[in-house]
Amino acid sequence: MSDAFLSSDDFDEQAHQLYNEGRYDDAIATLKDGLALYPNAVELHVGMAYAYLAREDFAWSRACFERALTLDPDHEDALAGFGEVLLKIGDRQGAVNAFERILGLGLHDDHELMLQIGRALFREGLLVPAHRFFDLAATAHPKSPEAASCLGYACHRLGRDGTAFYWLRRALELEHQFSEARIYLANALYDRGETEAALYHFEKTNPADHYDDLALWRTIELKKAVYRLPDDDPELAPWYARLGEVAGEPDTIDELLAEVEAQHADGTPRDPNQLELFGAQVASLPTMQRRPGPSDPHMIVTLSGHPIRGTWDEILLQFKSVERGWADSSMSEFMNGLAQEGRAETGIVIPVTSAEAFIRGSAEAGVLRILQ
């Protein structure tokens, strides 16, 4: 069909298809043809900006976003992309202003948009604002495993392990086959030294689920150590095969960099249990607060999303009633069973000496989240 008979939406659709195939140059060429006929089509300018952004042509991307926002100052996709570009070029305040503009338009319930912004902030190391947008996404779409997992990633990077475990396990509760979240959880547990719990989760993945050689090496290492497998054991063959696909053959520069990264600045070797897969963690500052009394109401939320309020004893009774498979069990069986599950999945010992100790320990293991 001649371009003269194509609408701006037709050009936009064609460009989207090319973009999704990774053919960014072709997408840009298509959008240029469209803009020659429809110079004021906002969507074509936005599409062009995102294609340039994917090519890391930040100056061209910024110019296209600015043109789109001149035509439509409240275009949410343009504002989100403009913020991403500004982050890339170091204008953090400008990016924050663009993102705040989106919230000012009342779009906090657009969970896909909130995830996009949160991921852009997360990639640039802005963990606290990233957590804020991930939280908005999870609030808008509580059944989204992506939102839950992103909250888990942010909490882990902020040093809030118990909350991170909750959100990662929440993501797996929503989508059991969500391998990205499970691999992240396994790596986080490995970094804590909880190797048995890490192997528990690694073994729930398949080699094809992995796109990072570190997790593959760790799976192989743990299988060999726990099951005493030799290098040529058939059980390890598919993991070694996937490792070869992901890592390839290292060259001399790769080996040199690996050797440098394995040492501290003074030349001493790094602790192998502190591989810093996810970068430096930022511990949250403690806040001063009144210690709650024994009769104060508390509130938790379970992995399945059930909110429960009451005293610790009341919460424990309700918690048992909403957990699948425990309705006909005694309270002792419930507490000990859940403690065993938590130990297997996180390596954390959940005390069963009292309702409060059990609930707080469960929160540390990510079985639930304490809100109050």
Give the number of domains in the chain.
Answer: 2
Query: Does residue 182 sit in the same domain as residue 259?
Result: yes
Same domain? 248 vs 302 = no
Residue 175 φ then ψ, to 5°: -145, 95
Do 250 and 326 have their domain in common?
no
**Percent of all residues in the chain with a pLDDT value above 70, rounded to a whole number:** 86
Residues 188 and 260 in one domain: yes
- Mind listing the pLDDT tens digit for each residue in 282-299? 223 222 233 344 455 899
Q: What is the pTM of this model?
A: 0.82
What was the pLDDT predicted at 320?
87
Let me know if residue 309 belongs to a domain.
yes
Provide the pLDDT for residue 113: 96
Q: In this structure, is residue 337 part of a structural domain?
A: yes
Nearest one of 338, 8, 10, 302 to 170, comparing CA atoms? 302
The domain that holds 224 is classified in CATH as 1.25.40
Q: Does pLDDT of 251 surpass 60?
A: no
In a domain, 163, yes or no: no
Give the 3-state DSSP-derived string for the chain, with helices as H, strands as E and coil as C: CCHHHCCHHHHHHHHHHHHHCCCHHHHHHHHHHHHHHCCCCHHHHHHHHHHHHHCCCHHHHHHHHHHHHHHCCCCHHHHHHHHHHHHHCCCHHHHHHHHHHHHHCCCCCCHHHHHHHHHHHHHCCCHHHHHHHHHHHHHHCCCCHHHHHHHHHHHHHCCCHHHHHHHHHHHHHHCCCCHHHHHHHHHHHHHCCCHHHHHHHHCCCCHHHCCCHHHHHHHHHHHHHHHCCCCCCHHHHHHHHHHHHHHCCCCHHHHHHHHHHCECCCCCECCCCCCCCCCCCCCCCCCCCCCCCCCCCEEEEECCCCEEEECHHHHHHHHHHHCCCCCCCCHHHHHHHHHHHHHHHHCCCCCCCCHHHHHHHHHHCCCEEECC
CB 343 within 8 A of CB 165: no
Sheet holding 368-370, edge to edge: 307-310, 298-302, 368-370
* 222-236, 248-262, 306-320, 337-351, range with the lowest pLDDT: 248-262
**How many angstroms separate the CA atoms of 237 and 222, rounded?**
14
Dihedral sign computed on CA atoms, order 359, 365, 367, 370? positive
pLDDT of residue 263 exceeding 80, the answer is no
| 92 is a domain residue | no
Question: Residue 6's pLDDT is what?
Answer: 87
Same structural domain, 232 and 302: no
What's the one-letter identity of residue 7?
S
Q: Is residue 182 domain-shared with residue 249, that is, in the same domain?
A: yes
**Residue 276 — left, alpha, or beta (φ > 0 → left; ψ -120 to 50 → alpha)?**
left
Low-confidence winner among 205-214, 221-230, 262-271, 282-291 (lowest mean pLDDT): 282-291
pLDDT of residue 3: 56
* CA-based radius of gyration for the chain: 25
Average pLDDT of the residues in 164-183: 96
In a domain, 189, yes or no: yes
Other Cβ atoms within 10 Å of 333 Cβ, number: 12
Per the prediction, the chain carries an average pLDDT of 86
pLDDT in tens, 309-331: 999 999 999 988 888 788 788 99
Contacts of 166 (CB under 8 A, 6+ apart): 152, 303, 363, 366, 367, 368, 369
Range with lowest mean pLDDT among 113-117, 227-231, 246-250, 368-372: 246-250
- Higher pLDDT, residue 250 or 14: 14
CA distance 330 to 338: 12
Predicted confidence (pLDDT) at residue 261 exceeds the cutoff of 50:
no
Q: Residue 248 domain-assigned?
A: yes
The pLDDT assigned to 249 comes to 57
Provide the pLDDT for residue 127.
95
What are the pLDDT digits (tens) for 117-172?
Answer: 999 999 999 999 999 999 999 999 999 999 999 999 999 999 999 999 999 999 99
Residue 183 is part of which domain span? Answer: 177-264
In a domain, 59, yes or no: no
Q: How far apart are CA 273 and CA 191, in angstroms?
A: 6
Last residue of a domain, one of 243, 264, 285: 264
Whether residues 241 and 317 share a domain: the answer is: no
Position 293 scores a pLDDT of 47
pLDDT of residue 136: 96
pLDDT value of position 280: 28
**pLDDT tens figures, 48-61:** 999 999 999 999 99
Same domain, 259 and 320: no
pLDDT in tens, 16-42: 999 999 999 999 999 999 999 999 999
Per-residue model confidence (pLDDT) at position 322: 86
What is the model's pLDDT at position 328?
80
Task: Kindly state whether residue 317 falls inside one of the protein's structural domains.
Answer: yes
- The one-letter code for the residue type at 142 is P
Domain boundary among 207, 238, 264: 264
Q: Is the model's pLDDT at 4 over the cut of 90?
A: no
Mean predicted confidence (pLDDT) in 257-273:
44
Burial profile 228-259: b = 16 or more Cβ within 10 angstroms, e = fewer: eeeeeeeebeebeebbeeeeeeeeeeeeeeee
71-97 residue pLDDT tens: 999 999 999 999 999 999 999 999 999
Considering 264, 286, 307, which residue would you say is the last residue of a domain?
Answer: 264
What is the rounded distance in angstroms from the CA atom of residue 214 to the CA atom of residue 90?
Answer: 30
Model pLDDT, residue 296: 58
Residues 328, 257: one domain?
no
Give strand pairing partners of 295.
none
List Cβ neighbours of 254 (8 Å cut-off, separation of 6 or more).
Answer: none
